[in-house]
Structure 1
Amino acid sequence: MAQRRERPMLDRRTFLQLSGVSSAAVALGISAPEAFADERTPVPEGAFGLGVASGEPGPRSVVLWTRLAPEPLAPDGHGGMPRRPVPVQWEMSTDESFRRVVRRGTAVASPELSHAVHPQVDGLQPGREYFYRFKAGRETSPVGRTKTLPARGELASSFSFATASCQAWYHGHFSAYRHMAAEELDAVFFVGDYIYEYGITSANLWRAGASVTPEHAVDIETLEQFRLRYSLFKSDPHLQAAHALAPWVVTWDDHEVQNNYGADGSRYGVSPEHFVHLRAVGYRAFYENLPLSLSTMPDGPDTALYRRFDVGSLARFNILDTRQYRDAPPADAGDQYDEQRTILGHEQEQWLYDGMIGSPATWNVLVNGVTVSAITEDRTDQWDGYPAARQRLIGAMQQTGNPVVLTGDIHRHVAAELKADFADPSSETVGVELICTSIASDGDGAPTDGYTPDWIQHPYVKLYDGRRGYVHCRMTPDELTSEFKIVSWIRADADAPLETVARFVTPAGSPGLEKQG
């Protein structure tokens, strides 16, 4: 029987320490009265050193983000900002020169939230392109582009997006983002491992020309260390350009806290009492550094990250959290196949199935951290470790239209067909899984490697490639086109050209992967 892990009890003092932020700081970081605006407030030069971003798009709203950090790599994790609140003005326009500003406002960047702001802009037009920027003191940010979703119920003619994951900055240059930033995209879906918690040393610093100070050489344990690690990764100009291109919708996997963790369980011997604190500061830094809405603000070690986005009636995107609620690793085969075992937690499972079954959308998408397809039984960190939960998911897929799973984690491109019974490859194909490789994790990679046989032994796996890149998708009412993009090297520099290693079409109403070319 799968063992349910009980949450360590927290007293009020410990809870407040884990939360570490006042409700006023959170509220003002989203919207502040006009009286807070003051262009004379001194702000260090280069305050927008981490760029800008947008996310959480809706038909009439979007969340904007920036974090003031004139010295992003300051060792204390505060980005070179003075320990006082700073008013930040933002404005949104329908043109890049800001002659037609349609919304503007003020948010307060507070030291409690590492001088990050998350203003939510409402009252926008559906399916519309907008441009935005921030001002603080005499400093003006780069311009970002964003886009709202189509109106509810509207059958949009197309929706283009990219998926990305696993960006170990120290393993190579973010060449893939350089190319992604030149795409025409409506959104980017990031499926996990935005940072890595490992210490960066001469043994793993493969990015040519890069160096780090001793503060980066330790495994992350504190909020300040998490903030510094985000600053390091976000200092990359190609990542900043990709954020400024389109709204991002993000979920996490494990390295935003610790490798292969699950719920309150550490694989490295950290006690549950201490691991709750690690999870709390990891989740806090995740919120601070990404364009997330108030609904995802951590409450100590808990965050309501799973959520849903409807692209009119064309597509429904279900954003999943496969870390926070999962059962512990199986003790044995009997435990692994326990019918009650869950990777999502039963509440999230029910939420997902309620949104899938009877969904009015043409395409029903799961944005998910780890591989769903059956590969090998010893991959228990993936859905292979939760076969009963996977079978429940497949059952729900059979009751919805055109299911698609977007995944990352494994640092390889994989395209697979999801089977009604993975033990019988001739069984019904119920959907497709598109797994994007890493942006940088594991260095250059190669088309094949030591793991290739595990994957291609299955006839439902239609592509395996171990190089770096991303997946570009275009949905229409008639079909989904998925293009697996790669760069051949990342360690030496960011100059590698972009190639499309495979292109698939999935017709609406006929799940499967039809390879093109």
Structure 2
Amino acid sequence: MPAANDRRRLLQLAGAAATTLWLPRSAWSQPRLSGDPFTLGVASGSPTHDSVVLWTRLAPAGPGDASVGHGAVTVHWEVAHDEGFTRLVQSGQAQALAELAHSVHVEVAGLAPDRWYFYRFMLGDACSPAGRTRTFPAPDAIVARLRLAYASCQRWEHGYFSAYRHMREENLDAVLFVGDYIYEYPGAAHAVRVPPGGWLLTLDDYRRRYALYKGEADLQAMHAACPWLVTWDDHEVQNDYAGEQAGYSSRRDPSTADHFAARRAAAYQAYYEHMPMRASVLTRGMAGLLHRAPGAEMRIYNRVQYGRLASLYLLDARQYKDPQACTRDGLLGSSMVDPASCPSWNDPRSLLGMAQERWLDQEFARAGRAWNVLGQQTLFGQRDFRPGPGQTLWNDGWDGYPAARMRLTDSLRRHAVANAVLLGGDVHENWVGHVKADYADAASPAVGVEFCGTSITSRSDGNARTAGRLAENPHFVFADAQRRGYGVAEFTPRQLTTTLRVVDDVTRRDTAIATLATFAVHAGRPVVETD
């Protein structure tokens, strides 16, 4: 009974933070502010054809100290057709609750489909920057174009988020962020800048790190430019964690297995507090979040329709993941593995968890004939690091879960899913290729295409071995391990055009940007062509 009461309480808290009801001014809670309460900017996300989530978090003292007292604060919000807010569409109040770090998640419903809007928040005499957002087209609408950027892996100490300044010029409908929004480390060798604080272990630790990242002007501006669709990977909690098992790939990480459940729950709560997500993601395992206990869960996998042009499937390849197989020296986390020496390599382990696998199979069963786009965390295709006979594969990605990968490709084939496109990140490198029905069979047909993106800032090992790895894995047609940036995928009824955009020098705030490569995929034909 206490757990049920706790669950109801947190559901009420999340619902209160998302409320759009009008409150009498006498009921408003207005703290005495010493500075701008909107230092972390604004954002929108979770768009549908008639609604969107508007986000901010009150932090008047800046990223280092986001306290505005211990009570609820009433925030006014407005949505308008114009940037001057002379033609209001909706307005209301929402409660910024101390229990949720004074974050605000306003779920605005009843909007017109396929429309751009402006929004802002107000507290006392303070007004936030204006954000721009949009609804998606109605599910049955005929749509000419979707222009989507995909990005991942923005490690603060490895460089500046300058890529987002250039991304703002891309005329995007939305951003798809596929993981590693923050990093949990205390610093890095040869860092461009050193984050304050140590390892992230507690809720306050994670909140401070998100505030640090959210304080970046280029990231704020990109969030304010269009809606974001978000999913996570491992560094939002701990490197290489798998489901309820700790990662420990870093020997310096002071966390212990006994405390990992509490750490994961704290990290999940902080993620919700800082992302433009719906309260419905918190409807399961809420008592676990409250007590930082085992079972804390956020249901973030989802399908979003973009008219008749595209179905977007956001996957979660971290929360329900089975432990990695045969990590070196019997440790937890990831490593390179020779599958021939790993007895459990081909066991029916899951990367997505069986419930999510069943959900995805059911979604594929009703997939349309247009583009079916999977936003997931990492490289999908097999990448053998050993030249010649034998294999060396990485056990933390899809390579380490070959039975799960086969179940997904079998589902694509069984349901004849048209125009499958997998977008990923995680590996800090650009990889472009064909999704094979069976990677063990060189003659296996392609069932889709893959664009795995580089990082916003996070480092990689460079291009010294890239050519050899491409030769060893011919289902890939392009790879680059040197440059940082993002990808832009433009979908039309006839073609997908993907452009890899890379910055010159991630250690410079004023870095320029260039196009690394452009590719085309014609509808109905899973073949990547150089454009």
Inter-partner Cα distance in structure 2 for 1:221 and 1:14: 27
Change (3 A) 1:375 1:83: same
- How many residues are aligned here? 490
How much identity, in percent, do the aligned residues show?
A: 40
The code of the aligned residue for 1:504 comes to F
Counterpart check, 1:490 vs 2:529: no
Inter-partner Cα distance in structure 1 for 2:362 and 2:308: 17
SS of equivalent residue, structure 2 residue 262: helix
Contact conserved, 2:240 with 2:247, CA < 8 A, in 1? Answer: yes
SS of equivalent residue, structure 2 residue 344: helix
Counterpart check, 1:418 vs 2:421: no
The alpha carbon displacement at 1:59 in A equals: 0.4
Q: Which residue is equivalent to 1:480? A: 496
Inter-partner Cα distance in structure 1 for 2:245 and 2:344: 17
Inter-partner Cα distance in structure 2 for 1:192 and 1:204: 24
The code of the aligned residue for 1:262 comes to A
Inter-partner Cα distance in structure 1 for 2:91 and 2:5: 35
The alpha carbon displacement at 1:452 in A equals: 5.3
The code of the aligned residue for 2:192 comes to W
Contact conserved, 1:20 with 1:112, CA < 8 A, in 2? Answer: no
Contact conserved, 2:157 with 2:195, CA < 8 A, in 1? Answer: no
Partner of residue 378 from structure 1, selected from 393, 405, 414: 393
The code of the aligned residue for 2:81 comes to T
Inter-partner Cα distance in structure 1 for 2:179 and 2:30: 40
Q: Which residue is equivalent to 1:53? A: 43
Post-superposition CA distance 1:76-101 (Å, at most 9, x none):
xx514222211111111111111111
Counterpart check, 1:261 vs 2:255: no
The code of the aligned residue for 1:390 comes to R
Inter-partner Cα distance in structure 1 for 2:471 and 2:59: 46
The code of the aligned residue for 2:298 comes to T
Post-superposition CA distance 1:86-131 (Å, at most 9, x none):
1111111111111111011111111111110100000101100111
Contact conserved, 1:51 with 1:66, CA < 8 A, in 2? Answer: yes
Matching of residues 464-479 of structure 1 within 5 Å: 464-466=479-481, 467-479=483-495
Inter-partner Cα distance in structure 2 for 1:160 and 1:313: 15
The alpha carbon displacement at 1:449 in A equals: 3.7
Contact conserved, 1:372 with 1:383, CA < 8 A, in 2? Answer: yes
Q: Which residue is equivalent to 2:333? A: none
Post-superposition CA distance 1:143-162 (Å, at most 9, x none):
10111010111121111110
Q: Which residue is equivalent to 1:205? A: 191
SS of equivalent residue, structure 1 residue 49: coil
The alpha carbon displacement at 1:32 in A equals: 5.4
Post-superposition CA distance 1:18-48 (Å, at most 9, x none):
x897444322211154225549653342110
Inter-partner Cα distance in structure 2 for 1:369 and 1:141: 32
SS of equivalent residue, structure 1 residue 231: helix
Inter-partner Cα distance in structure 1 for 2:187 and 2:59: 21
Post-superposition CA distance 1:38-88 (Å, at most 9, x none):
4965334211000000000000000000001122333xxx51422221111
SS of equivalent residue, structure 2 residue 169: coil
Counterpart check, 1:360 vs 2:378: no
Q: Which residue is equivalent to 1:505? A: 520
Partner of residue 165 from structure 2, selected from 169, 178, 197: 178
Change (3 A) 1:40 1:14: closer
Inter-partner Cα distance in structure 1 for 2:377 and 2:59: 30
Inter-partner Cα distance in structure 2 for 1:256 and 1:281: 10
Q: Which residue is equivalent to 1:296? A: 281
Inter-partner Cα distance in structure 2 for 1:104 and 1:32: 8
Contact conserved, 2:419 with 2:523, CA < 8 A, in 1? Answer: yes
Counterpart check, 1:335 vs 2:382: no
Contact conserved, 2:29 with 2:73, CA < 8 A, in 1? Answer: no
The alpha carbon displacement at 1:204 in A equals: 4.9
Inter-partner Cα distance in structure 2 for 1:140 and 1:390: 48
The alpha carbon displacement at 1:272 in A equals: 4.5
Give the TM-score normalised by the residue count of structure 2.
Answer: 0.88
The code of the aligned residue for 1:334 comes to P
Inter-partner Cα distance in structure 2 for 1:380 and 1:61: 39
The alpha carbon displacement at 1:458 in A equals: 1.5
Can you give the 5+ residue segments of structure 1 that lack an aligned partner in the other structure?
A: 1-10
Matching of residues 14-413 of structure 1 within 5 Å: 22-31=10-19, 33-35=21-23, 37=25, 38=28, 41-74=31-64, 78-200=65-187, 203-207=189-193, 212-213=195-196, 216=197, 218-268=198-248, 271-297=256-282, 299=286, 300=289, 301-331=296-326, 333-338=342-347, 340-376=348-384, 377-398=392-413, 399-413=416-430
The alpha carbon displacement at 1:212 in A equals: 4.5
The alpha carbon displacement at 1:318 in A equals: 0.8
Give the TM-score normalised by the residue count of structure 1.
Answer: 0.90
Contact conserved, 2:466 with 2:480, CA < 8 A, in 1? Answer: no
Change (3 A) 1:81 1:41: closer
The alpha carbon displacement at 1:252 in A equals: 0.3
Inter-partner Cα distance in structure 1 for 2:300 and 2:70: 29
Q: Which residue is equivalent to 2:336? A: none
Change (3 A) 1:316 1:290: same
The code of the aligned residue for 1:317 comes to L
Contact conserved, 2:20 with 2:108, CA < 8 A, in 1? Answer: no
Inter-partner Cα distance in structure 1 for 2:10 and 2:140: 39
Inter-partner Cα distance in structure 2 for 1:174 and 1:227: 19
Matching of residues 1-16 of structure 1 within 5 Å: none
Q: Which moved more, 1:26-35 or 1:246-255?
A: 26-35
Change (3 A) 1:36 1:288: farther
Q: Which residue is equivalent to 2:453? A: 436
Contact conserved, 1:72 with 1:228, CA < 8 A, in 2? Answer: no
Inter-partner Cα distance in structure 2 for 1:204 and 1:265: 30
Change (3 A) 1:83 1:501: same
The alpha carbon displacement at 1:361 in A equals: 4.5
Contact conserved, 2:466 with 2:479, CA < 8 A, in 1? Answer: no
SS of equivalent residue, structure 2 residue 205: helix
The code of the aligned residue for 1:312 comes to G
SS of equivalent residue, structure 1 residue 336: coil
Change (3 A) 1:41 1:70: closer
SS of equivalent residue, structure 1 residue 354: helix
Post-superposition CA distance 1:430-473 (Å, at most 9, x none):
11111111001118x75x14455334422221121121000001
SS of equivalent residue, structure 1 residue 34: coil
Contact conserved, 1:62 with 1:148, CA < 8 A, in 2? Answer: yes
Q: Which moved more, 1:20-29 or 1:168-177?
A: 20-29
SS of equivalent residue, structure 2 residue 224: helix
Inter-partner Cα distance in structure 2 for 1:150 and 1:33: 26
Can you give the 5+ residue segments of structure 2 that lack an aligned partner in the other structure?
A: 290-295, 327-340, 385-391
Change (3 A) 1:110 1:478: same
SS of equivalent residue, structure 1 residue 28: helix
Contact conserved, 2:30 with 2:74, CA < 8 A, in 1? Answer: no
Change (3 A) 1:14 1:27: closer
Q: Which residue is equivalent to 1:3? A: none
Q: Which moved more, 1:355-364 or 1:98-107?
A: 355-364
The alpha carbon displacement at 1:166 in A equals: 0.2
Inter-partner Cα distance in structure 1 for 2:58 and 2:69: 10
